[in-house]
Structure 1
Amino acid sequence: MSALRVLWHAVALQVALSRRSPEHALVLLIAPMQTTTMLALTAHRPDVTANAVLAPGLIGLWVAALDYAGRVVTEDRWAGRFPALVTAPVPLGLVVAGRVATVVVVGAAAFAESWLVAALGFGRVLAVADPALFLLAVAVTCLATIGTATLMSAVFVMSRARDVLQNSLGYPFYILGGILVPVAALPGWLHPLSRVVFLSWSAELLRGAVRGDAAAWPGSVAAILALGAAAMAAGLWLTRRYVDRTRRDGTVGFA
């Protein structure tokens, strides 16, 4: 079976599971509230409307990936799906990537929600100077999020401190990723760390598309895709290692 067919069947599986358990879409309820809070706090600063509208969208993507990726394989084990997935003649990593992709695409709707809340609720319409670049930025950000989520899924399931890791990867990445404030406003010693977080490139690219001054956008797109691809490769490798370990230890059927 080709990789594309595996991904397609994984997406179909996740759609079926989400119909029975749609809590993965709760991020769509959080984004409007976050937008409302940020716009209320910046009511007298129309110059930061872009930050207030874009931040909830990026947070929505990260939360969707972080929250679901941390539970995908663990939930499969508790639900009894893990043995069937492991014995199937397809890489488990691709199945995880396809399922995470489904959730990430849903989370991307937070961008539209934030825009609507700003326009209808506050009368602050965010005009996008370069719509084509903006859509490209959202697309590559989603791809990088899928790769990063696949890596986190493998790390979390192999870790004995999954809950601690999940809880610690929220706000630090909102800061390092330049979501709440631009990276340029952070202390200089944090800039190198920010550059290994794809969100920092995404946030700058999205803001540049809104303003219409993203002259160096090819480099930003390349950086986002490279970081996402590296995370995906590491995630697939770690997932394969985890499957091999459970087979070797005879713990495939143990929840």
Structure 2
Amino acid sequence: MSALRLLWQAVRLQAALSRRSPEHALVLLIAPMQTTTLLALTLAAHRADVVANAVLAPGLIGLWVASLDYAGRIVTEDRWAGRFAALIAAPVPFGLVVAGRVATVVLVGTAAFAESWLVAALGFGRPLTVAEPGTFAVAVAVTCLAAIGTATLLSAVFVVSRARDVLQNSLGYPFYILGGILVPVAALPGWLHPFSRVVFLSWSADLLRGAVRGDTRGWPWAVLAVLALSAASMAAGLWLTRRYVDRTRREGTVGFS
């Protein structure tokens, strides 16, 4: 089976499973509330210059929540549900199956961008105008790729970790800060900048805000940085998933939950 066909079959599998797991769509209920809160605070403070931040932030948060809370626990849920043994027995790379399923969940999270725009336009009469729609579309596309790569890595890390819940709960707000979602990276203390730049969200947030405002100087480098971080995360996730599958086979713990 070709890699593309395998990925498509994995997408179909996850779509069927998600129909029975409506919690995967809960992120779509969170984004409108976050947009309402951020926009209300922004407009009450008469800061029209940061309306773009208030509209884009919930979309990025939704993407991260989809990657962290839902896509990141796919392998763990397979073990609980008893699907893991059947999936790794199939004569296909399990890592690619995980990547395809992760992509399905993450792409649902991208709807948060549209929801935020609609809340701003219909609820506040502040439709967000994108000065450079082409660059904005590229930024959203590479951000989705990076989210898929990161979620693939997280799914492997969570399943091998003995403190999965602690890890999952601690990777929320710190990444909203380091990722420049709530405030631009330039507003953070200088010593945090190197840490921010290894988080793909920091590049994506700057790129999206720049595309909205028409200030995208150096955007190709930002795109390349996001793609590089995406590739590194995906490679690490596939490698760690393969190591985990090999270990469970070797130790005879495939059927353990």
| 1:58 maps to which of 60, 64, 67 | 60
RMSD: 0.6
- Whichever residue aligns with residue 235 of structure 1, its letter is G
Q: Residue 32 of structure 2 corresponds to which residue in structure 1? A: 32
Runs of 4+ in structure 1 deviating by more than 4 angstroms, as ranges, are none
Offset of 1:28 from its aligned partner? 0.4
Offset at 1:125?
A: 1.4
Specify which of 106, 120, 136 is matched with residue 118 of structure 1: 120
Shift of 1:75: 0.8
Structure-2 residue corresponding to 1:200: 202
- 1:82–1:252 contact (8 Å) kept in structure 2: yes
The SS at the match of 2:105 is: helix
- In 2, Cα distance between the equivalents of 1:139 and 1:181? 22
Q: Paired residue for 1:150, among 149, 152, 161?
A: 152
**Sequence identity of aligned pairs in percent?**
85
Aligned partner of residue 125 in structure 1, secondary structure: coil
How far apart are the structure 2 equivalents of 1:191 and 1:75?
35
**Alpha-carbon deviation of 1:23?**
1.1
Unmatched runs of 5 consecutive residues or more in structure 2: none
Aligned twin of 1:22:
22
Instruction: Note if contact 1:35-1:118 (Cα within 8 Å) is conserved in structure 2.
Output: yes
> In the alignment, which residue of structure 2 is the partner of 1:170?
172
Contact 1:69 / 1:153 at 8 angstroms: preserved in 2?
yes
AA in 2 matched with 1:51: N
Partner of 2:190: 188
Letter in 1 for 2:10: A
Q: Distance in 2 between matches of 1:239 and 1:120?
A: 44
Question: How far has the Cα of 1:69 moved from its partner?
Answer: 3.0
Counterparts of 1:136-147 in structure 2 under 5 Å? Answer: 136-147=138-149
Unmatched runs of 5 consecutive residues or more in structure 1 = none
- Secondary structure of the residue aligned to 2:131 is coil
Letter of the 1:236 counterpart: L
* Whole-Å separation in 2 of the counterparts to 1:45 and 1:125: 15
Q: Is the 2:72–2:152 Cα contact (8 Å) retained in structure 1?
A: no
Q: TM-score, normalised by structure 1?
A: 0.99
Q: Deviations over 1:65-95 (max 9, x none)?
A: 0001332111111111100111101111111
Deviation at 1:25, TM superposition (A): 0.7
Partner of 1:42: 42
Q: CA deviation at 1:148?
A: 0.4
Q: 1:103 aligns with which of 83, 102, 105?
A: 105
Q: Distance in 1 between matches of 2:105 and 2:72?
A: 12
- Aligned match of 2:214: 212
Match of 2:252 among 236, 250, 253: 250
Contact 1:70 1:162 in 2 (8 A): no
Deviations 1:178-208 (A, max 9, x none): 0000000000000000000000000000001
Q: Equivalent residues in 2 for 1:47-86 (5 A)?
A: 47-86=49-88
The number of residues matched between the two structures is 255
